Amino acid sequence: MRIVAKGLTYTYDPKSPFAAQALKGVDLTIEEGEFFGIIGHTGSGKSTFVQHLNALIRLTGGALKVGDYDLSDKKCRFIELRGKVGMVFQYPEYQLFAETVEKDVAFGLKNFRKGMREEEISAAVQEALETVGLNYAAVKDASPFELSGGQKRRVAIAGVIVTRPEVLILDEPAAGLDPLGKQELMQLLHSIHGSWCKTVIIVSHDMDEIAENCTRAAVFSEGRIAMEGTPAEIFRRADELLALGLDVPTTAKCAMLLRGRGIDIDTDFTCEDFAEKVLALWRAKEGGDA
């Protein structure tokens, strides 16, 4: 599903002293099949934007189309849309509620696919749980509250992907995980991307995460889009990102330091590519010396 936003605006608590304009005209197109990154400060409007995509926040200004769903149309089937656009919130483990993992994961399925047979449901739950790397037989009857933090998060993600949404949105999916957990989670998202969900959108503060994983990204700043493009295009403008008060990937910092010493490296800012380019330079220099 292609996502097209034009001139999106949104104000929280309009007409009160707490009124805050979160979106001030956002134009953004996300193509089907992208692994899209959304970057921005707290309060830059990024969460407000993504919550528009499955109509958790109703459109009040501008136009938004998600696939064939036109969200400015009042007759738009919002519930159906939510089955197609899955959303994993920050700390999704805080949404778990059922007595068993199986029931919790099946919750979305029972809401979106009314009248599904029990065997079909448990088959779908099993597939979802195994996709997120959990042993179905071992966890299905466990209470979600007795699992470890990392396992809870996996269960929560399984509870969203179980309906096979075409677009999967994750808000800070790796927040609070240890480095290994983060790495595993990103691998998991790559395995979901393409096979389970055509499009994956992640909202993140972690620039290394964006540089390593995303095909394209957008930088939100004060309710507008400040930059948009491939990670390589965005992080080439590292100085602008720093001026916006945002971080840049470690590779971009290294590239800046090297540029200050007169060495330009044309990289896409993934660690692998950066290492290759540095190695190539070094080899070229060695060759020249010899």
Partner 1 sequence: MLNDVTFGQYYPAKSFVHNMDARAKIVFVIAYIVAIFLADNFYAMAAVVLFLALAVLFSRVPFGRVLRSVKMILFVIVFTAVLNLFFSSVGEDAHVIWEWGILSLSWESIVNMIFLALRLFLLVMGTAVLTLTTTPVELTDGIESLLTPLKWVRFPVHELALIMSIALRFIPTLVDETNRIISAQKARGADFETGGLIRRAKAMIPVLIPLLVSAFRRAEELGDAMDARCYSGSKGRTKYKKLVFTWRDLVGLFVLAALITGVALLNHYLGGKFDILAYFF
Among 17, 115, 179, 245, binds partner 1 (CB under 8 A): 17
Query: CA–CA separation, 23 vs 62, rounded Å?
Result: 10
Smaller CB distance to partner 1: residue 132 or 219? 132
Cβ atoms within 10 Å, residue 227: 18
Radius of gyration of the chain (CA): 21
Distance in angstroms (rounded) separating the CA atoms of residues 254 and 213: 19
Q: Kindly state the helix (H) or strand (E) to which residue 184 belongs, with its residue range.
A: helix 179-192
Nearer to partner 1, 98 or 258 (CB): 98
> Site for partner 1 (CB under 8 A): which residue of 1, 3, 76, 96?
96
Site size for partner 1, by CB under 8 A? 26
Closest separation in Å from C-beta 87 to partner 1: 4
Starting at the earlier edge strand, list the strands of the sheet with 224-229.
85-88, 167-171, 199-204, 35-40, 216-221, 224-229
Residues whose CB falls within 8 Å of the CB of residue 130, separated by 6 or more in sequence, listed in order: 136
Cβ closest to partner 1, residue 97 vs residue 282: 97
Q: What are the φ and ψ backbone dihedral angles of 145, each rounded to 5 degrees?
A: -80, -15
Binding partner 1 by CB under 8 A: which of 19, 32, 73, 97? 97
Contact code string over 54-73 relative to partner 1, x by CB under 8 A: x-x-----------------
- Segment 140-169, which members bind partner 1 (CB under 8 A)? 145, 159-160, 163
What is the DSSP-derived secondary structure letter of residue 94?
G
Decide if residue 95 touches partner 1 (CB under 8 A). yes
- List of residues contacting partner 1 (CB under 8 A): 13, 16-17, 51, 54, 56, 79, 82-83, 86-87, 89, 92, 94-98, 107-108, 111-112, 145, 159-160, 163
